[in-house]
Amino acid sequence: MLSRSYEDELFRKLYLLGSEETDGLIDEFCMRCHSPVGVYLKEIPPADGSKLSKIAKRGVFCDFCHTISGYEKIGNGTYELSPGIVKLGPFEESESPGHETAYSELHTKSEFCGICHNLYHPTNNIPLELTYTEWEEGPYAEEGIQCQDCHMRQSPGIPATGTTERPDYPGIAGAGGGKRPHLYTHYFIGGNTISQIQTDDGYTQMAIERLQAAATLEITPPTNVIAGTENTVKVKITNAGAGHYLPTGLTELRQMWLYIKITDDSGKVIYESGTLDNEGNIDQVSTIYHSVFADKDGNPTEKLWEIESPISDNRIPPKESATEEYLFTIPIGATLPLNVEATLKYRSAPQHLVDELFGKDKVVPLVIDMVTEKS
């Protein structure tokens, strides 16, 4: 997915809008991570990519990562580069017929990922994305589990999360090399399913597999069920598989919410929450797990460049839980017992923003059923 960092159509449309509305202020800031070679070669600005070389349009590619030799600080793409014939990587003894090699401890640590996967507003320093910090302050860091131990062990059908196997992949890294106990996979899959609008080479399916191995649900069903009375259902959501908050990344865009349906024994729906209306909006009574930021006037905004202050953040830290409680009335004549079905859902961006960027009804973001539980 790193190879799509420049091509990602959602990113590019949002980026061009931001460049236009800020008179180019965000051009280099965003592209330090989305087209780092474009920034390094001073081909950015302009934001429209008209000066970008073919190699810069490849986003984050092999040679770029393997020439990172350090960083100024965690976040905002403050990497230090050592381009040349020496390529840096995680193996202490390696030889290549094409270039020289050197061991880099940094390539084995989460700090390498944190260079870009912490993001602070370029003018007011408000945290916009803290995926690295969420890991650093959580239980996976305490256990010594690095970002690479999940995101570079995934392969098709094996999401490699905290709830699944994270296997080794023995093999030979290059021609003439010896067999190693583990070769890191390089899919770099997260929860981004917007690649659906492009040729995605299976990336969307792998993102779905990762999302479906991230959380668990536990239903506390209603008690003392009597027709004509009020009752409650509780649903506990546990971040069981992610080493960071759920969701993470640019979470003013990403949405995770709970859909719940309560039916009587005849199948009649007596309560429902978490539905989408005809415009693709999540109903007003649902809790959306995401970050909310305000602009200079205190109004919620999903545009990074407008953010002036945080409003709320109800996302779920790793190995922690959140509980939703639903109050409903059991109608007279309901056929008992009741059936409860809960599904945790996710999409990479809200429909109204996608409509603004692509045009109404042009693209519908995939809604992923992460996990379903019944009682």
pLDDT tens per residue, range 314-371: 999 999 999 999 999 999 999 999 999 999 999 999 999 999 999 998 889 999 999 9
CATH topology assigned to domain 214-374: Immunoglobulin-like (2.60.40)
pLDDT tens per residue, range 268-307: 999 999 999 999 999 998 999 999 999 999 999 999 999 9
Give CA separation, 161 vs 69, 142, 143, in Å: 28, 16, 14
pLDDT tens per residue, range 45-92: 999 999 999 999 999 999 999 999 999 999 999 999 999 999 999 998
Strand ranges in 264-357 using DSSP code E only, listed in sequence order:
269-273, 288-289, 291-294, 300-301, 309-313, 321-329, 339-347
> Which residues share a beta bridge with 309?
294
- Residue spans per domain, the chain: 2-195+201-206, 214-374
The closest alpha carbon to 283, from 351, 356, 209, belongs to 351
Contacts 24+ apart (CB under 8 A), 60-65: 60/2, 60/3, 60/5, 60/33, 60/34, 60/36, 61/2, 61/3, 61/37, 63/87, 64/36, 64/37, 65/2, 65/107
**pLDDT band, very low/low/confident/very high, at 22 (cuts 50, 70, 90):** very high
- Quick one: pLDDT at residue 96? 85
Q: What does the mean pLDDT of the chain come to?
A: 94
Quick check: 134 and 147 in contact, CB under 8 A? no
Q: What's the predicted TM-score (pTM) here? A: 0.95
User: For residue 175, is pLDDT > 80?
Assistant: no
**pLDDT band, very low/low/confident/very high, at 196 (cuts 50, 70, 90):** low
- Quick one: pLDDT at residue 358? 92
- Quick one: pLDDT at residue 203? 87
